[in-house]
Amino acid sequence: MNLKYFIPAAFILILTSFKPLVEKPLKGISDRYPNDAGIEKDPDVLFVEKFHGGIPAILRRYSDIKNSEGMSLDTKDVPEGSLSPAIKMTNDGTINDGGHLFKQFKPGFGGTVYLRYYVKYPLSSKGYIHHESVWIGGYNPAVSYPDPRAGFCDLGDKRISIAYEPVNAPAMDTYLYWGDMKYGANRKCYGNDMVNGGPKARQLKWDQWMCVEMMIKMNDPVSAYNGELKIWQDGIEVGHWGPGFPNGYWDADSWINDTGHPPFGGFRWRTDEKLNINYLWIEFYDDTTPADQSHHIKFSNLVMARKYIGPLKR
């Protein structure tokens, strides 16, 4: 046999025997509901906010409201594929630090919960963002208003707070409070971050609509470290943390993803079964705006469900 011809042929055979490893987009609930039309009727959907009905009707859907005077609806600047208005929250550096909509769920949700929403960060807010995103979590006992209590530790039977936001804009990262969270400076507990420039880290793009989705799997039983967290940005996975994945280490209150270290041990989100997912907090907190300035943020097409939702489909 003439090896001059055999080797290239074998090489071609090997190349054609393997398909490229391309990550396929996940099929989500939104695939069945183009433009999110009717998505609220899906049996796996828990809550939908499309900001329909006008500001007074929207406010009636929430248990605690801050600065409703600074809220308005925008029907023109909405995410691609959306048929719904966006809510615009505005602050005035002279008199307030933003606004919020807080919703309490009774009796709350256990198991696995997904939250998807759209957010648009204006370039004019660069350098002034404090906490601007949608937080999801639980209080025990449940309350009808936000009570973040920054810096407190030992929350295993009291509180869970989960968010994905511009922790250090334009870097996007998690901001987590839970029972086994790690201490930061001066033995205080502030939101733990999990992405930290990891292999799938993404940044925000100013003045563009961004789709955020979070999956929270509660630990069960409450003694187990089998809870999980998964984040997507614009339908692309940013990170997934659970029992035995990914590898990395804690540097104070920051998880550093690093294949050369042991695996993550999983989340023990709670130590009391009464603590569940029982609130949603649409938050605009900008406490550094100068007195002569006003900033804003926009939110749209929020869905909570038992299964992956995915970005808007047209």
Provide the greatest CA pair distance for the chain.
Answer: 87
pLDDT value, residue 15? 38
Q: How would residue 30 be classed by pLDDT, with cut points 50, 70 and 90?
A: very high
29 neighbors 45 (Cβ within 8 angstroms): yes
User: Does 47 map to a domain?
Assistant: yes
User: Which residues partner with 90 through β-bridges?
Assistant: 296
**What's the number of domains the chain is made of?**
1
Quick check: is 138 in a domain? yes
Q: Does 297 fall in a domain?
A: yes
User: pTM, whole model, 2 decimals?
Assistant: 0.92
What CATH number does the domain containing 30 carry? 2.60.120
**Whether residue 92 has pLDDT greater than 70:** yes
User: Is the confidence at residue 16, as pLDDT, over 70?
Assistant: no
Region 43-64 average pLDDT: 98
Which pLDDT band, with edges at 50, 70 and 90, does 25 fall under?
confident
Q: Is the pLDDT of residue 19 over 50?
A: no
Q: Within a domain: residue 17?
A: no
Q: With bands split at pLDDT 50, 70 and 90, how would you rate the model's confidence at 246?
A: very high
Whether pLDDT at 184 is above 80:
yes
Q: Closest Cα partner for 269 from 278, 280, 258?
A: 278
pLDDT at residue 153, rounded to an integer: 87
Alpha-carbon distance of 99 to 166, in angstroms, equals 17
Q: Does any domain span residue 137? A: yes
Residue 191 has pLDDT above 90, yes or no: yes
Query: CA 238, CA 159: separation in Å to the nearest integer?
Result: 25
128-152: average pLDDT: 95
The residue ranking higher by pLDDT, 6 or 165, is 165
Q: How confident is the model at residue 66 (pLDDT cuts 50, 70, 90)?
A: very high
- Is 5 within the bounds of a domain? no
Q: What is the pLDDT of residue 24?
A: 72
Identity at 192, one-letter amino acid code: N
Residue closest to 107 by CA, chosen among 145, 157, 141, 134 = 141
Report the pLDDT averaged over residues 237-258.
97
Q: If you average pLDDT over residues 119-138, what whole number do you get? A: 96
Q: Stretch 139-166: mean pLDDT, rounded?
A: 94
Q: Looking at residue 11, what is its pLDDT?
A: 38
pLDDT above 80 for 199: yes
Q: Using a pLDDT cut of 70, give the percent of the chain over it.
A: 93
Residue 245 maps to a domain: no
**The pLDDT value given to residue 22:** 53
Give residue 308's pLDDT: 98
Split at pLDDT 50, 70, 90, the class of 23 is low
Nearest C-alpha neighbor of 50 from the set 92, 15, 79: 79
Q: Which domain holds residue 74?
A: 26-142+163-172+194-215+226-237+275-305
| pLDDT at 273 > cutoff 60 | yes
Cα–Cα distance for residue pair 280/244, rounded to 1 Å: 29
Q: Considering the domain boundaries, does residue 11 fall inside one?
A: no
- Of 234, 247, 220, the C-alpha closest to 112 is 220
pLDDT over threshold 60, residue 192: yes
Write out the H or E segment, with its range, that includes residue 119.
Answer: strand 112-120
In degrees and rounded to multiples of 5, residue 189 shows phi and psi of -110, 115
